[in-house]
Amino acid sequence: HLSPPLPPLRPGGYDFARDMYFQRIGASGYVLGRIKAATPPAAPDLWLNYAVVIDNIREGLNRRIHTLLPGDRGSIASALITGKRNAISQPVKDAFYISSLAHVLAISGFHMAVVAGIVFFCVRASLALVPSLAMARPIKKWAAMAALAAAGFYLLMSGSSVSTQRSFIMIAIVLIGVIADRQAVTFRTISIAAFVVLMIAPQSVLHPSFQMSFSATLALIAGFQYGLLSPGQSDHALAQRAALWGLREIVGLILASVVAGLATEPYAAYHFHRVAPYGVIANLLAMPVVSAVVMPLGLLGVLTMPFGLDAVFWRLMGLGIDWMIVVVQWVAGLPGSVGHLAAFGPGPLLLSTLGLLLLCLLRSPLRWTGAAVAVAAVALALNIPRPDVLIATDGQSAAVRGADGRLSILHASRDTFAIKDWLAADGDGRDIKDKNLSQGVRCDDIGCTALLADGRIVAYALSPEAFSEDCTRAAVEISSHDSPLACEALLIDRAAWRVQGATALYATNPGLGTKQGFRTEVAHPPGTDRPWARAVDDKRMATKSTTVKRPVAPSPDATPKIDDVEEGD
C-alpha cells in the first residue's frame, strides 16, 4: 500500500512532499504478510556493494553496543556512533526534546568537531613527544590530516545523512585551512562552508538543522572575534586564581551556551513551536560530560573493538549516558519546562536573521541596531494572528476557534496527525485525547456545528442531507464530499480542498453577512506548480471556486459516490 508524500498539513506548514522530493522518494507505505527475498534481475553495482558493506559494519557496531549496553543506554550510544536512533524509548526521546538536548542525538557539527578534535590533539601530542619530528616536521598539519581522515570515517559509520555531510564539509574546510596555514575559525571559513553546502544541496537552506547550525557557529565565531568568549590574560592575582580553578573556562562555557542558544532560538521556535526555558541549564550539565567522557570513550570503543578490548570503554560510556538521561529527565520535570509558542510566518524569522547578521558582522557601534531588529522580530512573532478555522488537506478534519480563544475539533478522521500539528502550531499543549478539544461542538447523524468567537456558525456536513440546512444558516460549510446544492455559506468541499489543499480561515469582519468576513490562506495557492506539488490538471476542478454558487440540483441524490466510500477517503 503506497501513498504519495504528505502535502503541508496547514498553510505555511512543513512541506513533507518537498523534503521527500529532494531525497528522491516518490511514495511511502507498507506491505502486509511475510517478506520474501527475490533474486535481483541484475548484479548489484559497485555503489550498492559499498552501501551493503558499510551497513553491515554499522549493524555489527549496533549489535555489539546493545549487547554491552541494553536499553536506552545502548540506543543512545548507537545514535552517537552509527546515527541509528530509532530504538530510543519515546519518554527519553521526549525528555531530550523538552530539555533542548535533542541536538545531541542527531550527529551534527558538534559530534564531528569532538571526534576531529580528539584525534587532532592525540596525534599532535604523540608526535610532539619525538623531538626530531616536533622540531623539523609540520606535525600540526599531519595531525589535521589524521583528524580529517577520522571525520571522514565517522561520516561513513554514521550513515552519511544530509546533516552529517554538511557537518563534515564544515570541519573539512577548517582542517584544510590548518593544513594550508590559514587561520581556521573566521567568518571567511563559515562563508566558504555555507557556499559549498548550498552548492551541493541548495534545498538545505530551508532545513532547521542548516539554519540552527550556521546561526550558532556564526554567533560563536563573532563572540570569539570580539573577545566575549575568549577573555584575555590578566596579571591580577584574583584572575590568576580564577584561571587556576577553571572558573574562567566555566564562565566561557556558560557564555558560549547562552550565545549559541540565543542565536538558534528563533529557528527552533519557527520550526518546532516551542522554547526551552531551561535549555542552558541542561546544556551546562550534560554537554561537558558528552564532550569529555561519552564521545571519547565511544571513539576508543570503536578503535579497540577489532581487538576485543572495547567492553570496558562501552561500559564507561554507558555511565556518561546515564548522567545525560538523569539530566534531561530532571530538566524536563521542572515547572514550566515546555514553552509552547504559536506558529509565525517567515517574516519574523527573516527579521531575526537580519538582526543576527548585523550583530555578528558589523564592527562599528551600528551593530547594536541588530538588537533592536531582533526585538522587533520577537514583537512581530508574538502578534501574528491565528486562524479561526482549519481544514485538513483531505477535508476529513476541521477545527474551530471558539470564544475561549482555543481550538475545538469540529471533526476528526482516524488519522490525528494533522490535528496534532495544528495544536502544536497553535501553541496548545493539550493532548489529542483531551476531552476539552470537543468543547462547544454539537453533532448529530448528518453533521457537526461549532460557534466562532463572534457567534457565527461553522458546520461540517457528514452526509448530503446536511447541506440543505447548513448552507442557509452557517457562515462556513465544510465537507469531505462535493456539495450537491448552491450554498450561501463559504463552502470548503471536495472541489475546494482537492485544488487548494489545507485551508485556514481568518475572521476579518464579523459585522458582515455569512458569505463575507473571512480571509483565506491555502497550502497550494492557485497558479503554483512545483515538481513535488503539481497543479491540478482537471480544468473543471480548477475553475470551481469556494465562493461561486453551484446550480441547484433538481433532485439531490443522497447515494454516496464511489470515491466517497473508498478506504482512507
Mean pLDDT of 225-244: 59
User: What pLDDT shows up at residue 233?
Assistant: 52
Cα separation, 411 vs 400, whole angstroms: 10
Rounded to two decimals, what is the model's pTM?
A: 0.82
Please, which pLDDT band fits residue 556 given cuts at 50, 70 and 90? very low
Residue 564 CB burial class (10 angstroms; 0-12, 13-18, ≥19):
middle
**What's the whole-number mean pLDDT along residues 533-546?**
54
Amino acid at 345: G
Residue type, 462: L
Angle (CA) 382 385 391, round 5° = 130
pLDDT tens-digit series, residues 31-44: 888 888 888 888 88
Is the per-residue pLDDT at 400 higher than 70? yes
pLDDT value at position 372? Answer: 96
Residue found under cell 483565506 = 520
In tens, the pLDDT along 293-308 reads: 999 999 999 999 999 9
**What pLDDT band is residue 232 in, cutting at 50, 70 and 90?**
low
List own/partner pairs for 423-429 with CB under 8 A and 24 or more apart: 424/272, 424/273, 424/274, 424/340, 425/10, 425/13, 425/273, 425/342, 425/343, 426/342, 426/343, 426/386, 427/273, 427/340, 427/341, 427/342, 427/343, 428/340, 429/338, 429/340
